[in-house]
Structure 1
Amino acid sequence: MMKQLLKPDYIFESSWEVCNKVGGIYTVLSTRAKTLQDSYPDKLYFIGPDVWSGKENPLFVEDDALLKAWREHALQESGLKVRVGRWQVPGSPIAILVDFTPFYAQKNDIYTQAWIDFQVDSLHAYGDYDEASMFSYAAGRVVESFYRYHFTAKDKVIYQAHEWMTGLGALYIKKHVPEIATVFTTHATSIGRSIAGNNKPLYDYLFAYNGDQMARELNMESKHSIEKQTAHNVDCFTTVSEITNNECKELLDKPVDVVLPNGFENDFVPKGPAFMAKRRKARKAMLTLANKLLGEEFSDDTLVIGTSGRYEFKNKGINVYLEALNRLTRDKNLNKKVLAFINVPGWVGDAREDLVERLKSNKKFNTPLEVPFITHWLHNMSHDQVLDMLKYLNMSNGPESKVKVIFVPCYLDGRDGIINIPYYDLIIGNDLSVYPSYYEPWGYTPLESVAFKVPTITTDLAGFGLWVNSILGHAGTLKDGASVIHRTDYNYSEVADAIRDSITEFSHLSDTEIKKIREKAAAIAEKALWKHFIQYYYEAYDVALRNMQKRISSANKDND
């Protein structure tokens, strides 16, 4: 018999990415919001940093009437400056943005207390540690104030904190409002990402690494400390995939209580004729761009492929993608032209004026622009990893090569000055996507790709790749809509060959075969909708609420 899950009455979630689009966590929260808001209408509160103060935030619409009495009370009683409104995502949940800057004045006292209460070591803080911690502390104070004002002991309340950046707030709540059940989700361990990014083999030696020792070696002590202490002290510790759970066990000395895979909503995927119209528009934009930059004609049967995401050259597998494309230039079996995009934000300067001029013209061009690899100038043209590797591989984008590479080093927000099409409206035009990650706790980019019926190549070092293998019951192949390449610390060359071979194989497929593969890609995405994955969150809430009740009753016994 299934046990009855304990369900919360109210949920708070805090993240640096609430109403603040930075990375993958934004996608997790913003796509899940509607599913939770439907089950908890206006009993779900997202707390984010008020980093847009004084500027127009397109993601947040303030509403002075919302929670007005509490807001005034919070300002008078605790000096908390918050703005309340709606997050402009499906479901329009309530968002509370807090101004955390006043807490800088108390920073040393806050850190001292965190050390006394939870042994959080903030002595070695640098970079974004202070900013994140002051926000996190402010978020904890906001929830404490709200709880005291609105709720009674009968109300079951969850506070879910995302990433090390919100750890301090979760610990504050555990101490000051112990009746709130706390959930902490790490989307990637700070130390695991750092080991991988510093070219140290992560997986073969995971069992031998000591997280605390590596944090000292890699100058990550404070971030590691807050992450580890939060993991050990919350009521329910979670992460997004089994592969990251292994990291948590070894590097944080704490396995997770529940794995929360990342889902998404498909309401942004167009249907029927609208889908085909958007796909045609995206392909036309990419083929036109290629003509203007490279001075070469690209017919509609050109194979358009792409990779995208954060600029983590090794972790995201950008290096092995370029290696595979270079090997593809020498593959005699390739029977289509390949146009390969790298849509990864770099240290971007201005849109290229020479390219803008050409794009304004209706002419077809037959001479390339200089540096025919890149759409925007960079501030560090001579020290950019993508451009350096293209030069090292001696790739020319010349007319004799069947494989052309174009680097689009900016956020595709529809206002980049060259393509001017938002990311989702552009990836729909790809024939194939490649995400050969070395370090990827989940992997939204391949999931988004298959949602738009674009088959993808990923690896089994990505949480998403492992999940695909688990639902298929075997290692995913191109014919399944998602090819999952086996990747280890040391098989870089084999991975490059496997990508090259997959692209060549794809170039030989008939339209009928491609159509089948596209449908299979969409079927994989359907299994990752939030309506299927939300159940894991309900399990995490249950674990947190039960552990909170145990904690309270044991504290009461101690006091008797």
Structure 2
Amino acid sequence: MEIQNPLQSATQKQKILIEIAWETCNQVGGIYTVIRTKVPSMVEKWGDDYFLLGPYFPQTASAEFEPIHDLDDSVLGKTVQKMRSMGYAVHYGYWLVTGKPRIVLFDFWSIYNNINALKAGLWERHQVSTLNTEELVSHVIAFGEMVRVFLTELAKEQQNKIDIVAHFHEWMAASAIPDLRKDQIKVATVFTTHATMLGRYLAGNVPNFYDKIDTFDWLKEARHYGIEAQATLERLAALQAHVTTTVSDVTAKECEFLLGKVPDLILPNGLNITRFSAMHEHQNLHTKYKDRINEFVMGHFFQSQPFNLEKTLYFFTSGRYEYSNKGYDLTLEALARLNWKMKQAKIDKTVVMFFITKQPYHSIDPEVLHSRAVMDEIRETCNSIEKQVGEQLFKASASSSDLQMPDLNNFVDEYWRLRLRRTIQTWKNNKRPKVVTHLLKQNDGITDFVQKSNLMNNPEDKVKIVYHPDFIVSTNPLFGLDYGQFVRGCNLGVFPSYYEPWGYTPLECIARGVPTITSDLSGFGDYMMQIMRDYEHWGVMVVNRKTQDFYKAAEQLSEMLLKFVKQSLRERITQRNRVESISDTFDWSNLRTYYDTSHDLALKRRK
């Protein structure tokens, strides 16, 4: 069925929307999730009048890009043809994600021999200094030049026929904006910063960054951190775009003081929410994937420290390794306090806390792999014994005149008894279970803290730590789950970030019916506090990091964790149902309207 463009009528000019991002068809970080998950909602509204631009990387394109070999006479096809005739390497096709939008990918290497002239031009026209910059800046400038040429040719070909909106995400996609404005190209531009370059650097290096944000000299700080080119391009994009936007009120403050522009609009991020027809379906999935995590936990801990899995809770945190920005430091401090509080209160439960992040490592720890392999062997032996016992029990029961239950030990032959005994014997030991699942290349903040605080998986500890310095994928030999399945199997997500422009990780918990903890310094936490007065009732807890110091925030977090630990199974099930019930709030079908407003505003301002 052909999708009609609701913006088009007999008296209106056709409108087209183009989204430009370095992470279009190129999975690098969070922007990829924003763009990819938003596509179906944009296609629903715009139909064929929506497409995307991005850089061409053969490795990622081979998995997600389907070329269109026969160029059509569409607006897009003509412009691609023109650019190819001008000598540019341009790839045109479909992005193989839900919605299957058309996409144009630019091979910036095709003009890379001209990079010095492009840099010189940026300096002459806009005073962008590119001396001694990282190679990414050169790639971005070459890509930006191809975007500029494409939009210029498109606007020339279609002027007075079509209204064009170009939506640029982040500084890596936006180096074309200043020249588009300077040359008065008939394209309405929207720029979205998802996190300012300077904000990320300052937050990780300056204590109480938010309290001092109005005191920084942006150029001086950019030079200090060696990011003058990046910060200048970002600032120019924010100042020159028809509409400047960001993802939260938290980053709006950064835009005001570091980019010199109060954003015109806030565009909160969403996800594609998969709702189930019956509430029990998501509970069943939680149980299914928790059983898989149970298998890992048994293999990891039960060699020397068996505990009751029925009374075990799985907490996790994940994301880039930014020890303070992501709140890993605060989480560890709160866990140490929780461990002490659970011991004092003699709480008969165990908490296993997973840290899922990416750090350099040599390999998975052979001891961790070996333990898992031996446990799998125990399972296979038990399955064989179960089969043997089952067959013998059936025969004995059918032929017996005695109504008593037979002694099952008589049904297991000596071979299987000996094999089981020996396998268990080789597996069991008195060693403390490993904190880190891999052999790290060097210690870091997480390993340093657990050693200093002795949160080292001691037998008496109520809180156990599993540090997994790699992202979870389905081929992972330890879990055999993809990340979304792992999240569903956990009981609680913990993300008390100090610097988090938006925060997809707690949103991904909500999408999967998992209660979560965030902070009021994350864009997501701030947004929740604005839209829901009783957010805690719905399974979202928010740590106060705006007005509390580190230790008071850690104490508040430890109390939140303790309160969660004390909940009954029934209370936890009720809370998961509540979380799942509000997930639609964050579906792109509801949040797309913020984007619609920005596009309409850009068109008005261009005219």
* 1:321 matches 2:379: no
1:293 pairs with one of 280, 291, 300: 300
Report the alpha carbon displacement of residue 191 of structure 1 after superposing the two structures with TM.
Answer: 0.5
Report the alpha carbon displacement of residue 325 of structure 1 after superposing the two structures with TM.
Answer: 1.1
* 1:511 matches 2:516: no
* 1:495 matches 2:559: no
- The residue that corresponds to 2:363 in the other structure is 350
Answer yes or no: is the 8 Å Cα contact 2:316–2:494 preserved in 1: yes
Instruction: Provide Cα deviations, 1:85-134, integer angstroms capped at 9, x if missing partner.
Output: 22222211122221111332211211222223333232352252222232
- The residue that corresponds to 1:241 in the other structure is 248
- The residue that corresponds to 1:392 in the other structure is 452
Which deviates further from its counterpart, 118-127 or 268-277?
268-277
Name segments (4+ residues, structure 1) moved above 6 Å. 4-8, 268-271, 368-371
Distance 1:370 1:302, change over 3 A: closer
Distance 1:425 1:180, change over 3 A: same
Equivalent position amino acid for 1:43 in 2: D
Counting matched residue pairs gives 540
Equivalent position amino acid for 1:384 in 2: D
- The residue that corresponds to 1:119 in the other structure is 127
Report the alpha carbon displacement of residue 540 of structure 1 after superposing the two structures with TM.
Answer: 0.6
What is the SS of the residue equivalent to 1:204? helix
State percent identity of aligned pairs. Answer: 29
Answer yes or no: is the 8 Å Cα contact 2:13–2:161 preserved in 1: no
1:540 pairs with one of 588, 592, 598: 598
What is the SS of the residue equivalent to 1:83? strand
Aligned CA RMSD, in angstroms, stands at 2.5
Answer yes or no: is the 8 Å Cα contact 2:194–2:246 preserved in 1: yes
What is the SS of the residue equivalent to 2:521? coil
Distance 1:515 1:72, change over 3 A: closer
| C-alpha distance in structure 2 between counterparts of 1:345 and 1:447, whole Å | 20
- The residue that corresponds to 1:340 in the other structure is 353
* 1:164 matches 2:171: yes
| C-alpha distance in structure 1 between counterparts of 2:14 and 2:32, whole Å | 23
| C-alpha distance in structure 2 between counterparts of 1:8 and 1:174, whole Å | 22
TM, length-normalised to structure 2: 0.83
What is the SS of the residue equivalent to 1:102? helix
* 1:88 matches 2:96: yes
- The residue that corresponds to 1:142 in the other structure is 150
Aligned positions of 1:35-114 closer than 5 A: 35-53=41-59, 57-65=62-70, 67=72, 70=78, 73-74=81-82, 76-114=84-122
Report the alpha carbon displacement of residue 176 of structure 1 after superposing the two structures with TM.
Answer: 4.7
- The residue that corresponds to 1:309 in the other structure is 319
- The residue that corresponds to 1:446 in the other structure is 506
Report the alpha carbon displacement of residue 370 of structure 1 after superposing the two structures with TM.
Answer: 7.2
| C-alpha distance in structure 2 between counterparts of 1:8 and 1:461, whole Å | 41
Report the alpha carbon displacement of residue 340 of structure 1 after superposing the two structures with TM.
Answer: 0.4
Aligned positions of 1:153-302 closer than 5 A: 153-176=160-183, 178-267=185-274, 274-294=281-301, 295=303, 296-298=305-307, 299-302=309-312
- The residue that corresponds to 2:395 in the other structure is none
Report the alpha carbon displacement of residue 503 of structure 1 after superposing the two structures with TM.
Answer: 1.4
Which deviates further from its counterpart, 386-395 or 431-440?
386-395
Answer yes or no: is the 8 Å Cα contact 2:151–2:187 preserved in 1: no
Distance 1:145 1:371, change over 3 A: farther
Report the alpha carbon displacement of residue 328 of structure 1 after superposing the two structures with TM.
Answer: 1.4
What is the SS of the residue equivalent to 2:110? helix
The structure in which a higher percent of residues are helix is 2
Instruction: Provide Cα deviations, 1:117-173, integer angstroms capped at 9, x if missing partner.
Output: 333232352252222232232233333344445x34221111111111112123343
- The residue that corresponds to 1:27 in the other structure is 33
TM, length-normalised to structure 1: 0.90
- The residue that corresponds to 2:487 in the other structure is 427
| C-alpha distance in structure 1 between counterparts of 2:258 and 2:436, whole Å | 39
Distance 1:495 1:138, change over 3 A: same
What is the SS of the residue equivalent to 2:176? helix
Report the alpha carbon displacement of residue 201 of structure 1 after superposing the two structures with TM.
Answer: 2.3
Which deviates further from its counterpart, 161-170 or 523-532?
523-532
What is the SS of the residue equivalent to 1:311? coil
Answer yes or no: is the 8 Å Cα contact 1:74–1:80 preserved in 2: no
Report the alpha carbon displacement of residue 225 of structure 1 after superposing the two structures with TM.
Answer: 0.5
What is the SS of the residue equivalent to 2:185? coil
Which deviates further from its counterpart, 44-53 or 353-362?
353-362
Unmatched 5+ residue regions in structure 2? 1-6, 379-423
- The residue that corresponds to 2:524 in the other structure is 464
What is the SS of the residue equivalent to 1:183? strand
Report the alpha carbon displacement of residue 72 of structure 1 after superposing the two structures with TM.
Answer: 6.5
Distance 1:190 1:368, change over 3 A: farther
| C-alpha distance in structure 1 between counterparts of 2:234 and 2:367, whole Å | 47
Which deviates further from its counterpart, 284-293 or 222-231?
284-293
- The residue that corresponds to 2:136 in the other structure is 128
Unmatched 5+ residue regions in structure 1? 550-560
Report the alpha carbon displacement of residue 292 of structure 1 after superposing the two structures with TM.
Answer: 1.7
| C-alpha distance in structure 1 between counterparts of 2:349 and 2:13, whole Å | 55
Equivalent position amino acid for 2:300 in 1: L
What is the SS of the residue equivalent to 2:577? helix
Instruction: Provide Cα deviations, 1:443-468, integer angstroms capped at 9, x if missing partner.
Output: 11101111111111111001111111
| C-alpha distance in structure 1 between counterparts of 2:506 and 2:590, whole Å | 18
Report the alpha carbon displacement of residue 269 of structure 1 after superposing the two structures with TM.
Answer: 7.4
What is the SS of the residue equivalent to 1:215? helix
Which deviates further from its counterpart, 139-148 or 160-169?
139-148
Distance 1:367 1:82, change over 3 A: farther
Distance 1:278 1:61, change over 3 A: farther
Distance 1:497 1:507, change over 3 A: same
- The residue that corresponds to 1:557 in the other structure is none
| C-alpha distance in structure 1 between counterparts of 2:86 and 2:280, whole Å | 55
Answer yes or no: is the 8 Å Cα contact 1:63–1:84 preserved in 2: yes
Which deviates further from its counterpart, 288-297 or 17-26?
288-297
